[in-house]
């Protein structure tokens, strides 16, 4: 029944081999408590011979502190997700913590996974997929764990949420189009109810409305290159009087597909200006040269790290003093990367 139990050495085996008490073996490895240097060395050698090292589970249990952080993630098929996870894993590594991953096949699973994560008594949880329900957030925080939500709300006033300033990105895109004198504006949006893409679209629409312009919004369930290509087809089928002359795609994948769909039919940015979001590697490739927004991943990670470090030092919340616009939500400015598809009308 017990899988392996037999055969695995314990600190007692090492103690026997080094002819010391089991407690000394522990001290040799933790570095806590006095121990003669020579004894320590003898123990280390014995451990090596036996092939033993401390059982991290047992250590975590007895110290009441597991060096773990739970990370909720999902399919990595969108480039941006992989970038985020990669950067996150690196940060966690640098904390000398271990990421325990919870993979959500769909957003609906996220709540169950958060519950499961609680069982591991980790230092905290980082959510990069799905939605954090309010009572789940409370359960996590009440147990003294930190809660960080990336590009989504934490739904708790002691939770922490870092996001790209999506509305600002949308507004900047609109402003750029208006400065270029574009007339008919279109947004390639995400699924209904999605958080980040909706905020981008709303920021865009709002700025356009303030300038007296109307905006069409086409929602897309997948936000893939295929979806972008489909939108291009839809645009080409429109009566020419209704064809937009400026398009804001709420992610790069759609923008790239859109460009491919228009290739040979329209000139960019002559007929249609285009701005994307994410600054995927492909955005700068020769056939695209897409004007887009870079998400401030490094800044987001810095903020996240600062929050978690603050948490572990049990500092009082400094957030009130700092007067964030929206408590618990840190917005980091996206950076406009101007390439050929918009914003360069003054250059040849």
Partner DNA sequence: CTGAAAGCGCTTACAG
Binding-site ranges for a second copy (CB under 8 A): 2-5, 7-8, 51, 53-58, 60-61, 63-66, 68, 73, 75-77, 79, 81-83, 85-86, 89-90, 92-93, 98-103, 105, 115, 118-121, 123, 139, 142-144, 225, 256, 260, 263, 281-282, 285-288, 312
Is 58 one of the binding residues for DNA (CB under 7 A)?
A: yes
The one among 39, 83, 206, 222 contacting DNA by CB under 7 A: 39
Quick check: 58 and 114 in contact, CB under 8 A? Answer: no
The count of residues interacting with DNA (CB under 7 A) is 33
Is 23 one of the binding residues for DNA (CB under 7 A)?
A: yes
Q: Which does 76 bind (CB under 5 to 8 A by kind): a second copy, DNA, none?
A: a second copy
Pairing relationship of beta strands 246-249 and 273-275 according to DSSP bridges: parallel
C-alpha count within 13 angstroms, C-beta hemisphere, residue 5: 3
Is 44 one of the binding residues for DNA (CB under 7 A)?
A: no
Is 24 one of the binding residues for DNA (CB under 7 A)?
A: yes
User: Residues near 272 by Cβ (< 8 Å), separated by ≥ 6?
Assistant: 235, 243, 244, 245, 246, 247, 262, 266
In three-state form (DSSP H/G/I as H, E/B as E, the rest C), the secondary structure along 260-328 is HHHCCCCCCCCCCEEECCECCHHHHCCCCCCEEEECCHHHHHHHHHHHHHHHHCCCCCCHHHHCCCECC
Quick check: 18 and 42 in contact, CB under 8 A? Answer: yes
Minimum distance from CB of 56 to DNA (Å)?
8
**Which one, 160 or 288, has the nearer CB to a second copy?**
288
In the chain, the N- to C-terminal Cα span, in Å, equals 74
Pairing relationship of beta strands 146-150 and 185-188 according to DSSP bridges: unpaired
**Which one, 185 or 297, has the nearer CB to a second copy?**
297
The one among 3, 5, 96, 323 contacting DNA by CB under 7 A: 5
Minimum distance from CB of 100 to DNA (Å)?
17
Minimum distance from CB of 121 to DNA (Å)?
8
**Which one, 85 or 201, has the nearer CB to a second copy?**
85
Q: Which does 51 bind (CB under 5 to 8 A by kind): a second copy, DNA, none?
A: a second copy
Pairing relationship of beta strands 292-294 and 335-337 according to DSSP bridges: antiparallel
**Which one, 63 or 86, has the nearer CB to DNA?**
63
**Which one, 52 or 293, has the nearer CB to a second copy?**
52
- How remote is the C-alpha of 52 from its chain's centroid? 37
Distance CA 2, CA 25 (A): 26
Angstrom distances, CA of residue 273 to CA of 279, 297, 344: 16, 26, 10
Is 55 one of the binding residues for DNA (CB under 7 A)?
A: yes
Q: Which does 324 bind (CB under 5 to 8 A by kind): DNA, a second copy, none?
A: none
Is 323 one of the binding residues for DNA (CB under 7 A)?
A: no
Q: Which does 26 bind (CB under 5 to 8 A by kind): DNA, a second copy, none?
A: DNA
Residue 126 main-chain phi, psi, to 5 deg: -115, 125
């Amino acid at each position: 029944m017990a899988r392996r139990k037999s055969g695995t050495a314990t600190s007692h085996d090492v103690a026997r081999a080094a002819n010391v008490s089991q407690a000394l073996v522990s001290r040799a490895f933790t570095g806590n408590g006095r121990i003669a240097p020579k004894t320590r060395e003898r123990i280390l050698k014995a451990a090596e011979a036996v092939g033993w090292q401390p059982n991290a589970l047992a250590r975590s249990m007895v110290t009441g502190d597991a060096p773990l952080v739970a990370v909720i993630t999902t399919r990595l098929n969108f480039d941006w997700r992989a970038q985020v996870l990669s950067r996150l894993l690196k940060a966690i590594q640098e904390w000398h913590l271990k990421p325990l991953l919870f993979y959500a096949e769909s957003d609906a699973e996220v709540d169950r996974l958060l519950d499961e994560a609680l069982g591991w008594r980790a230092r905290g949880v980082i959510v990069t997929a799905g939605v954090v329900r309010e009572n789940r957030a409370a359960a996590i925080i009440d147990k003294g764990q930190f809660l960080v939500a990336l590009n989504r709300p934490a739904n708790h006033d002691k939770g922490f949420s870092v996001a790209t300033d999506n509305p600002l990105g949308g507004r900047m895109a609109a402003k750029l189009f208006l400065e270029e004198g574009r007339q008919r504006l279109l947004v390639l949006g995400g699924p209904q109810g999605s958080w980040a893409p909706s905020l981008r679209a709303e920021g865009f629409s709002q700025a356009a409305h303030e300038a007296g312009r109307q905006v069409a919004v086409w929602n897309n369930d997948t936000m893939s290159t295929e979806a972008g290509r489909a939108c291009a087809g839809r645009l080409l089928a429109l009566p020419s009087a209704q064809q937009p002359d400026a398009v804001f795609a709420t992610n790069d994948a759609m923008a790239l597909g859109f460009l491919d769909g228009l290739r040979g039919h329209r000139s960019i940015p002559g007929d249609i200006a285009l701005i994307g979001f994410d600054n995927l590697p492909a955005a700068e490739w020769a056939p695209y040269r897409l004007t887009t927004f870079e998400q401030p991943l490094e800044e987001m990670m810095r903020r996240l790290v600062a929050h978690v470090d603050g948490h572990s030092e049990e500092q009082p919340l400094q957030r009130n003093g700092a007067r964030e616009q929206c408590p618990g939500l840190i917005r980091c400015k996206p950076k406009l990367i101007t390439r050929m598809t918009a914003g360069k009308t003054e250059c040849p």
